[in-house]
């Protein structure tokens, strides 16, 4: 009688494994970062499932043979398909320190097909514990020396994940799908993910969120932190023998959503089951008693919120012996608070906070959240609201320029993406100082910093309230200006800077109109007073351009603008 071990041995000897690939999407760049290789048994075989396949291999003593065959076939198939990006190879810790570590078989497999080691990521699975960390660290260092990168799979599940991370310092960490499933409805999971992202940044490690299955999960992750751009899951593509080579059809239109990260009421929505208005009061009493953490219950009829019942006020009605008989035959609608606060799901959190704190009765700690049609979507509370606002403020501070406090590169790119998503006309302007390096060399960085701060203040003063000002770094700034007034704004900036620039210089240099300084070739050269060059790129309504495209064009336009002497404005004439 043939055992499963015999069947597995035959599969290995006949190399009858099937390799599927699932893309890992880089949502920020709208590309495929790489593919995870996933082995399957033959179609129709009891060992088709990878879980069963490896369980049998472990009990039959064939784990190393199966693992190495999976690697070799995955590498060969990856090259045959001509897939872009990196190949993520699942490797069990038990095998990484045995034959492969001693013999360098993975490197040999790569040489046979002409694939560079820097295109391969060794993904350590967590189905088995690591017993010898010293040996594992040695093996991981050996792989890195050969050019491989290392990933840790399923953080938060399996055996000692956090210790794996601390001991092995991987290049990538994959977050277990448990922490992604339903994250749009789970504030606690979002808090956990923020903490993990902070750890990943401090360790210079990239986090990959896997197990994304719904549009809501994808949107929530993307809005939570744009630093989390590597995503994987059925929402994008299922594992396949012939996976896609591009992501144009994988990423939905909201890949650069119009909302600022976690700035809308939808991000703090809790799915609290509503009650009908004709529910008997005793039934609601029982529900509150069964669920001590339940603070507030919405009363909804045909999707429309009619009111809320707040726990403390409601249960206070039953503090005397006659209360139960008094309310026994009454319905919930009679006791509901119909003056509750109702917020649309797309309400900015800052505006929602103003509405919540504007009341003086202290009864708006819990509020109803509805969709665009006014139908009940969930509940929000002030604790989650303040937590989200604090997280946004911390994140903005993290990504702000430390000298000027203006939004830095990440926030500039996000804002540009949001303006494009609106579909309205606007103008992107790159602002750069001319001859600033010479000023810095002559007067020192402290006075140079004062110039930068003055420019930042000037740009904010001259820009309209609806405009955006960001600080790329050094003496480079980016402005996003409303379409109707952008030329007037640029004119005001040029005039205002021309008026203040001479004051940055000492009297003698100011009278001379600049400074004499040796250039890089050691030749004394005259550098005029610092001026500002503006490069404008009008963006028509409904454009299909991406934020990255416009940023690249602005960089090119800046070079053209700096060719013009003095305070000047260069406009891209290709865009009408």
Number of C-beta neighbours around residue 248 at 10 A = 8
pLDDT band at 261 (very low <50, low <70, confident <90, very high): very low
pLDDT band at 124 (very low <50, low <70, confident <90, very high): confident
Mean pLDDT of 340-354: 88
Element holding 391 (H helix, E strand) = helix 382-398
Number of C-beta neighbours around residue 459 at 10 A = 25
CA-to-CA distance for 371 and 270, rounded, in angstroms?
13
Domain containing 327 equals 267-389
Q: What is the pLDDT of residue 100?
A: 52
Is residue 503 within 8 A of residue 520, CB to CB? The reply is: no
Q: Which residues 6+ apart lie within 8 Å of 317 measured at CB?
A: 323, 327, 335
CA-wise closest residue to 551 among 468, 460, 430:
430
Both 323 and 445 in one domain: the answer is no
Is residue 152 within 8 A of residue 173, CB to CB? The reply is: yes
pLDDT band at 79 (very low <50, low <70, confident <90, very high): very high
Span 87-112, pLDDT tens digits: 999 987 767 666 555 567 888 999 99
Mean pLDDT of 420-439: 92
Q: Which residues 6+ apart lie within 8 Å of 475 measured at CB?
A: 432, 433, 436, 451, 452, 455
Inside any domain, residue 292? yes
CA-to-CA distance for 435 and 497, rounded, in angstroms?
14
Question: Is 263 or 233 the better-scoring residue by pLDDT?
Answer: 233
Inside any domain, residue 322? yes
> Which contacts (CB < 8 Å, 24+ apart) does range 72-75 have?
72/105, 72/109, 73/15, 73/17, 73/19, 73/39, 74/19, 74/37, 74/39, 75/106, 75/109, 75/110, 75/113, 75/115, 75/120
CA distances 202 to 153, 174, 325, Å, are: 19, 16, 61
Inside any domain, residue 123? yes
pLDDT band at 576 (very low <50, low <70, confident <90, very high): very low
State the DSSP string of 192-210.
HHHHHHHHHHHTT-EEEEE
Span 441-472, pLDDT tens digits: 899 989 999 999 999 999 999 998 889 999 98
Is a pLDDT exceeding 70 seen at residue 256? Answer: no
Both 413 and 506 in one domain: the answer is yes
Give 502-561 as a 3 state SS string: HHHCCHHHHHHCEEEEECCCCCEEEEECCEEEEEEEEECCCCCCCHHHHHHHHHHHHHHH
pLDDT band at 135 (very low <50, low <70, confident <90, very high): confident
Both 232 and 333 in one domain: the answer is no
Q: What is the pLDDT of residue 253?
A: 45
Q: What is the pLDDT of residue 220?
A: 82
Backbone φ, ψ for residue 491 (5° rounding): -60, -45
Both 456 and 350 in one domain: the answer is no
Both 376 and 421 in one domain: the answer is no
CA-wise closest residue to 558 among 485, 479, 449, 453:
479
Is a pLDDT exceeding 70 seen at residue 183? Answer: yes
Specify the CATH number for the domain of residue 426: 3.30.70.270
Inside any domain, residue 56? yes
Question: Is 254 or 291 the better-scoring residue by pLDDT?
Answer: 291
What sign does the CA torsion over 387, 388, 391, 392 have? negative
Is a pLDDT exceeding 90 seen at residue 131? Answer: no
pLDDT band at 21 (very low <50, low <70, confident <90, very high): very high
Is a pLDDT exceeding 90 seen at residue 7? Answer: no
Number of C-beta neighbours around residue 519 at 10 A = 11
CA-to-CA distance for 477 and 559, rounded, in angstroms?
14
CA-to-CA distance for 265 and 380, rounded, in angstroms?
8
Specify the CATH number for the domain of residue 125: 3.20.20.450
Last residue of some domain: 361, 389, 417? 389
Query: What domain count does the chain have?
Result: 3
Percentage of the chain surpassing pLDDT 70?
A: 90
Q: What is the pLDDT of residue 128?
A: 57
Inside any domain, residue 255? no
Q: What is the pLDDT of residue 485?
A: 87
Percentage of the chain surpassing pLDDT 90?
A: 45
Q: What is the pLDDT of residue 259?
A: 38
Q: Which residues pair with 123 in a beta bridge?
A: 90, 151
Q: Which residues 6+ apart lie within 8 Å of 149 measured at CB?
A: 86, 118, 120, 121, 122, 171, 172
Mean pLDDT of 363-375: 88
CA-to-CA distance for 513 and 399, rounded, in angstroms?
37
Inside any domain, residue 6? no
Q: What is the pLDDT of residue 361?
A: 55
Question: Is 393 or 562 the better-scoring residue by pLDDT?
Answer: 562
Both 384 and 458 in one domain: the answer is no
Q: Which of 202-216, 350-364, 422-436, 557-571 has the lowest mean pLDDT?
A: 350-364
Both 332 and 445 in one domain: the answer is no
Inside any domain, residue 431? yes
Last residue of some domain: 346, 365, 389? 389
CA-to-CA distance for 71 and 106, rounded, in angstroms?
7
Both 347 and 412 in one domain: the answer is no
CA distances 475 to 111, 285, 503, Å, are: 47, 64, 18
Inside any domain, residue 200? yes
Backbone φ, ψ for residue 225 (5° rounding): -165, 115
Both 385 and 482 in one domain: the answer is no
Is a pLDDT exceeding 90 seen at residue 83? Answer: yes
CA-to-CA distance for 65 and 75, rounded, in angstroms?
16
Last residue of some domain: 350, 369, 389? 389
Mean pLDDT of 535-559: 86
Span 472-523, pLDDT tens digits: 888 999 999 988 889 999 999 999 999 999 999 999 999 999 999 876 677 8
**DSSP label at 149?**
E
3-state secondary structure of 98: coil
Is residue 42 within 8 A of residue 52, CB to CB? The reply is: no
Both 192 and 319 in one domain: the answer is no
Q: Which of 25-29, 247-251, 296-300, 466-470 has the lowest mean pLDDT?
A: 247-251
pLDDT band at 394 (very low <50, low <70, confident <90, very high): confident
Q: What is the pLDDT of residue 323?
A: 76
Is a pLDDT exceeding 70 seen at residue 359? Answer: no
Average pLDDT for the chain: 86
Specify the CATH number for the domain of residue 274: 3.10.580.10
CA-to-CA distance for 129 and 92, rounded, in angstroms?
10
Both 57 and 194 in one domain: the answer is yes
CA-to-CA distance for 405 and 408, rounded, in angstroms?
8
Is a pLDDT exceeding 50 seen at residue 262? Answer: no
Is residue 183 within 8 A of residue 155, CB to CB? The reply is: no
Q: What is the pLDDT of residue 64?
A: 85
Q: What is the pLDDT of residue 25?
A: 92
Q: What is the pLDDT of residue 238?
A: 93
Both 49 and 21 in one domain: the answer is yes
Mean pLDDT of 133-147: 84
Q: What is the pLDDT of residue 249?
A: 58
Q: Say if strands 468-473 and 476-482 run parallel, antiparallel, or are unpaired.
A: antiparallel
């Amino acid at each position: 009688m043939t055992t499963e071990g015999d069947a597995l041995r035959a599969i290995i000897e006949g190399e009858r494994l099937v390799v599927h690939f699932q893309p890992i999407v880089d949502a920020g760049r709208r590309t495929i970062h790489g593919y995870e290789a996933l082995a399957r048994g033959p179609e129709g075989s009891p060992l088709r499932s990878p879980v069963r396949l490896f369980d049998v291999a472990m009990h039959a003593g064939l784990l190393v043979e199966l693992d190495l065959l999976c690697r070799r076939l995955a590498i060969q198939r990856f090259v045959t398909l001509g897939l872009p990006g990196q190949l993520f190879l699942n490797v069990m810790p038990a095998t990484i320190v045995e034959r492969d570590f001693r013999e360098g078989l993975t490197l040999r497999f790569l040489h046979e097909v002409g694939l560079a080691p820097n295109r391969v990521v060794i993904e350590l699975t967590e189905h088995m514990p690591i017993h010898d960390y010293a040996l594992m660290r040695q093996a991981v260092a050996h792989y890195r020396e050969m050019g491989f990168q290392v990933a840790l799979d399923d953080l938060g599940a399996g055996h000692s994940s956090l210790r794996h991370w601390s001991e092995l310092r991987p290049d990538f960490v994959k977050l277990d799908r448990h922490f992604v499933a339903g994250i749009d409805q789970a504030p606690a999971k979002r808090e956990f993910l923020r903490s993990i992202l902070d750890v990943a940044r401090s360790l210079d490690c990239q986090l990959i969120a896997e197990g994304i299955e719904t549009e809501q999960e994808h949107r929530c992750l993307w809005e939570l932190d744009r630093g989390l751009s590597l995503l994987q899951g059925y929402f994008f593509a299922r594992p396949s023998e012939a996976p896609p080579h591009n992501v144009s059809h994988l990423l939905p239109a909201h890949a650069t959503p119009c909302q600022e990260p976690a700035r809308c009421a939808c991000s703090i929505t809790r799915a609290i089951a509503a009650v009908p208005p004709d529910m008997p009061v005793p039934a609601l009493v029982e529900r509150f008693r069964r669920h001590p953490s339940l603070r507030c219950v919405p009363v909804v009829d045909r999707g429309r919120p009619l009111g809320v019942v707040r726990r403390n006020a409601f249960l206070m009605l039953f503090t005397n012996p006659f209360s139960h008989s008094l309310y026994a035959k009454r319905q919930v609608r009679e006791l509901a608070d119909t003056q509750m606060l109702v917020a649309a799901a797309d309400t900015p959190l800052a505006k929602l906070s103003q509405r919540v704190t504007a009341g003086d009765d202290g009864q708006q700690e819990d509020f109803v959240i509805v969709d665009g049609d006014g139908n009940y979507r969930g509940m929000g509370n002030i604790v989650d609201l303040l937590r989200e606002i604090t997280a946004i403020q911390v994140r903005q501070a993290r990504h702000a320029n430390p000298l000027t406090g203006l939004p830095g590169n990440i926030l500039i790119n996000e804002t540009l993406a949001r303006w494009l998503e609106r579909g309205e006309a606007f103008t992107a302007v790159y602002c750069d100082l001319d001859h600033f390096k010479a000023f810095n060399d002559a007067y020192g960085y402290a006075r140079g910093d004062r110039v930068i701060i003055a420019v930042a203040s000037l740009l904010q003063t001259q820009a309209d309230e609806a405009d955006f000002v960001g600080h790329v770094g050094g003496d480079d700034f980016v402005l996003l200006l409303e379409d109707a007034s952008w030329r007037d704004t640029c004119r005001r900036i040029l005039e205002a800077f021309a008026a203040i620039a001479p004051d940055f210089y000492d009297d003698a240099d100011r009278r001379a109109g600049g400074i004499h300084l040796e250039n890089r070739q050691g030749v004394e050269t005259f550098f005029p007073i610092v001026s500002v060059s503006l490069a404008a790129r009008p963006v028509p309504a409904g454009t299909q351009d991406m934020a990255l495209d416009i940023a690249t064009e602005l960089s090119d336009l800046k070079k053209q603008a700096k060719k013009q002497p003095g305070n000047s404005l260069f406009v891209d004439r290709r865009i009408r």
